[in-house]
Structure formats: structure tokens, C-alpha cells
Amino acid sequence: MKRLMSVVLSMVVVLMMCGGAMAEDFNAQGSTLVPSLYFDFMAANNWTSPYIIISNITAEKVQCRVTMYNHDGSDVTSLGYVMTGGTNWVAVSHGVGDFDLPAYSSRIYSLLPSGGTKAIVGYATIEWKSDNVKLRKALVGGVMRYRAHPGGAAESQVLINHGDPF
């Protein structure tokens, strides 16, 4: 019985150590806040979404994390996706805000307009880190608001961090 308890205790310790490794902090080198975001999905042809456009202005790959919060502070990042352009829009990730941003490239983070009526007002944080620990500013960005509705669409854009690198 004593030996069984020792084995069980050892397994618990190993599991705790593995869980801690999996819940690693992001340890960001830079970050900014994106205030006043609004998302509204009424129907497939009637929705409003913010598109957070993030550009890497360095010669180094950076890892990014976008976290979106709703009106009561709940994390709604799982409703988002990250895209890149090209001939067609390509999803880089879905349901998570973590993604790699290659040197001199750009990505868009947005909430996915689908599945039932949703209205979200809130804010987002953008964090980044790099293998180059001396790097201090790597990103610039803006928020494009896109509204699709019967008869047309409207857009507007606001710079993140006044357009200054962060």
C-alpha cells in the first residue's frame, strides 16, 4: 500500500509539472491596447466587424497574441480568426489569437460572422515576442470597421497606437 501511494504521488507530481509547462506565459516584449471594438452579426448579409490589421516592420519573425474581450471582460478570442491575403483570403488560425508574423508581413484578426445573432462591444490586446530579445518595437496596426448590409458596405479605419510602432 505504501508503495502504491508512492507511485500515485509520483504520477501526480509529474502531471503537475507537465501542466505547468503547457500553461507557459507568453512573456511579451511589446504590447498595446485596441479600444472601442464593435461586432454585430444579425444575418449573413447584415453584419459589422472590426478587422485588426497588424504589420511586422522588422526583418525578424515575431509571435503575436491577440486577445479580444467583450462588454463584461470575458475573453471571446475563440470567436476570432487570423487571415492573410494573396489571390484569396487564407485563414492562418481560427479560434485562437496566437500566430506567427513573418518579417515585413501583415495579418488580419477579426471575429467570425456566423452562427446566430451576436453583439459584442469591447477591446483587444495585442502582444508580441521575438527570439531576438533586444528587439523593442516590431508592429504597427490599424482597425478597419467593415459593415455589410443590404444595398452596400461601408468602411472606416483608425490607427492603433496613433500609428506609432509598439
1-15 pLDDT, tens digit each: 444 334 333 433 333
pLDDT one-digit tens code per residue, 119-163? 999 999 999 999 999 999 999 999 998 888 887 787 889 999 999
Percent of the residues in the chain that have a pLDDT greater than 70, as a whole number:
83
Give the pTM. Answer: 0.80
Domain coordinates of the chain in residue numbers?
30-163
Torsion angles phi and psi, residue 4, rounded to 5? -60, -45
Distance, in Å, from the CA atom of 29 to the CA atom of 21, rounded to the nearest integer, reads: 20
Distance, in Å, from the CA atom of 139 to the CA atom of 141, rounded to the nearest integer, reads: 7
Distance, in Å, from the CA atom of 157 to the CA atom of 162, rounded to the nearest integer, reads: 12
What pLDDT was estimated at residue 113? 63
Amino acid identity of 29?
Q
CATH number among 3.40.50.300, 3.20.20.80, 2.60.290.11, 3.90.1640.10, domain 30-163: 2.60.290.11
What pLDDT was estimated at residue 148? 85
Distance, in Å, from the CA atom of 165 to the CA atom of 129, rounded to the nearest integer, reads: 14
Which residues on neighbouring strands pair with residue 83, listed in sequence order?
Answer: 91, 108
pLDDT one-digit tens code per residue, 53-88? 999 999 999 999 999 999 999 999 999 999 998 888
Can you state the percent helix, strand and coil of the chain, rounding each to 5?
15, 50, 30
Residue 24 has pLDDT above 50, yes or no: yes
